[in-house]
Amino acid sequence: MTGDLFGHAPAAAPPKDGEISLAMTLHDQSADAWLLAPGIDRRVAKWAPKSRCRRGEGRDENVWTMPVWMARDRGWM
């Protein structure tokens, strides 16, 4: 059996060199970067450059899309 109770297959791991979208809390920003954390604790927040990340719009404004390597480097995955 290769699925959960409802027959859905398990989620595939993100590609090594691809992008990932993460729900993050915005704690601060500068002209060039956002200070993001996976939760509300500002002590674990790290800077992410705006040139490498995209912020969602509307209902997805707390979702940032970034390279997988960046999310791993900052400990968000």
* pLDDT exceeds 90 at position 31: yes
Whether 11 is in a domain gets the answer no
Range of the domain at 64: 19-73
Whether 3 is in a domain gets the answer no
Summarize pLDDT for 3-22 with one digit per residue, the tens. Answer: 666 666 666 665 556 999 99
Whether 7 is in a domain gets the answer no
Whether 14 is in a domain gets the answer no
Q: To which H or E segment does residue 72 belong?
A: helix 68-73
- Identify which of 1, 51, 47, 52 has the alpha carbon closest to the alpha carbon of residue 24: 47
How high is the pLDDT of residue 77?
84
How high is the pLDDT of residue 16?
56
Q: How many domains does the chain have?
A: 1
Summarize pLDDT for 36-62 with one digit per residue, the tens. Answer: 999 899 999 999 999 999 999 988 889
